[in-house]
Amino acid sequence: PVYEVAFQSPLKGEISAIQLTALTHETFSDPRKLSRSSNGNFVLTDFIAGVVESSSGESRPVEIASASASFEQSGYPILAAIDDKPESGWAVSGGKDLDDAVTATFFLSEPVLLGETESLKLRLAHESRFGKHNMGRFKVAVSNSAGSTSPATPEISEAVRKVLEIS
């Protein structure tokens, strides 16, 4: 499955990073898991960002320079979600309790400034050989903090951190 979402940013100014958090949900076969698969794992094979103009539908790609994740399954690193190879992807099983949310942060090559009629569009592809290994529930946050263009120096604003907290 492929999920596509588009939204206008609540931030004023440039966007320099996108944070994706996989969440549990009570409607899953096991409500403590992160996906629709029986074991709770997912494989995100592609994470693609773009900007779309609302009235014309015209879009432009947003280049992602790098990424980091709170957890990576061995052999399935977060960078595999941005490598343009459909046979690879980011997964989160393998020794981790899958009843905890996991987060990936994607750092843009250049900050993006959305116009008044523009939206950020994300494409999350789950096209691995594991057909049901797709995120069941997720949330997205963006950051415009200076310096958040490298995983070595992520600076997510306090407002974004509060949005990402899970009770």
Residue pLDDT, tens place only, 55-80? 898 999 999 999 999 999 999 999 99
d(CA 124, CA 103): 14
d(CA 59, CA 63): 13
Residue pLDDT, tens place only, 94-138? 555 655 688 999 999 999 999 889 999 999 999 998 888 888 889
Give the sign of the dihedral formed by CA 9, CA 139, CA 143, CA 124: negative
Lowest average pLDDT, out of 35-39, 72-76, 82-86, 150-154, goes to: 150-154
Asked if 125 and 45 touch (Cβ cutoff 8 Å), the reply is yes
